[in-house]
Structure 1
Amino acid sequence: MMKRYYQDEEDIGLFQRMQQDDSQAFEEIYYRYFLKLSNTAFKRLQDRAATEEIIQEFFVNLWLKRHRLPELKNPESYLQTLLRNSVIDWFRSQTRQDGFAAERMAQPDYQIANATEQQILYADLQRAYESTVGQLPDKCRQVYTLHQRGYSVNDIAEQLQIAPKTVESHLLKAHTTLRHLLKDYSAVTITLASLLMG
């Protein structure tokens, strides 16, 4: 299992460390946000290949542009804004395809076949994700669900009457389980590892 050096660090601190060329801080940002951003992108694009491409470029560009990032008060909001812009850019690029492709996509039979394929892909991903979350132990699932809703570690600890360290342990277990699910959906980890080692 990959050692996590900054799993207790707040997001703002992680971004500050990343701006100082700390690749381990970047890895923690990736660890925390890969699943959430991937799901958001897939829901908007309904295209797994496009999602993989956008998320891969997203994290690579985040690392490459780390020295030019603004001062962040809400890192997650900033990441979501960047992702939204990436998705918009992708849709714009699609409109610049040649006329034949646009005409072909307008045909009813193509629209139905394409929509059906993407619906199946999304349904498979969603079922696999929900099934994995559903198989987590009760307390672990509660912790993970609250964290996905935006609750902090301390908030979850207070609400569930458990220690913050216990919350972190449950989150690590949930994330580790979900990473096994994600390995079949994207090769972005390999690309990022190559970038960081280069």
Structure 2
Amino acid sequence: MKPYYQTENDAGLFLCMQQDDPQAFEEIYARYFLKLSNTAFKRLQDREMTEEIVQDLFVNLWLKRHRLPELKNPESYLQTLLRNAVIDWFRAQARQDGFAAEWLAQPDRQVVNATEQQILYADLRQAYESTVDQLPEKCRQVYALHQQGQSVADIADQLQIAPKTVESHLLKAHTTLRHVLKDFSAVSVALLNLLLG
């Protein structure tokens, strides 16, 4: 691979990839495969599933390269894609009768069965969305932008507020969500942590 790709910043690599440059894609893959895999494994505790999810993420990234939004923070965008992919995996498992029996069998997984887990997750999701809706308007706006993968600096620039104010709103949102949802099960809290990032 040419040295150019190894020294180019992420935004430049994404632009090249969007212009059908496979070497730029290969460099993005090299930079982020291990980092994303480590993040996914912490959440899934399943190496085979981790590899499959991260591989699919990169395949889709290449296939959808012409439809990507303008990215000021590519790493944040990749982390958002990963978080969504892991959440989708949990949802898919919840729809299966067994609901990851081996995962739930771990000592700290206090869920009786698949049906209960589906109910708990539905309750958690409803409580989460309700809590977000009840955040103060500016706080909710900042939180929504952050969940879309925008950085603190980008949000501050877009809303014309100080970065410290953005951080304050995010802290308030996360603190509120964790307080309101603290009584959910261990598995549900793990899902909440995925939502909060």
Please, what TM-score do these two structures have when normalized by structure 1?
0.50
Contact 2:93–2:100 at 8 Å: present in 1 too?
no
Contact 1:18–1:66 at 8 Å: present in 2 too?
yes
Gaps in structure 2 of 5+ consecutive residues: 110-197
Query: Structure 1 residues 51, 106: CA separation in 2 closer, same or farther (over 3 Å shift)?
Result: closer
Matching of residues 1-198 of structure 1 within 5 Å: 5-98=4-97, 101-102=98-99, 110-112=105-107
Deviation at 1:102, TM superposition (A): 4.0
Whichever residue aligns with residue 10 of structure 2, its letter is D
For residues 66-106 of structure 1, give each alpha carbon's deviation from its aligned partner in whole angstroms, at most 9, with x where no partner exists: 000000010100100010000000000000112xx249559
Q: Structure 1 vs Structure 2: percent identity of aligned residues?
A: 76
Query: Structure 1 residues 48, 77: CA separation in 2 closer, same or farther (over 3 Å shift)?
Result: same
Contact 1:12–1:73 at 8 Å: present in 2 too?
yes
Aligned residues: 108
SS of 2:106's equivalent?
helix
Gaps in structure 1 of 5+ consecutive residues: 115-198
Contact 1:5–1:24 at 8 Å: present in 2 too?
no
Whichever residue aligns with residue 75 of structure 1, its letter is P
Report the RMSD for the aligned CA atoms in angstroms. 2.3
Query: Structure 1 residues 57, 103: CA separation in 2 closer, same or farther (over 3 Å shift)?
Result: closer
Q: Which residue of 2 aligns with 1:152?
A: none
Deviation at 1:111, TM superposition (A): 3.4
Query: Structure 1 residues 10, 91: CA separation in 2 closer, same or farther (over 3 Å shift)?
Result: same
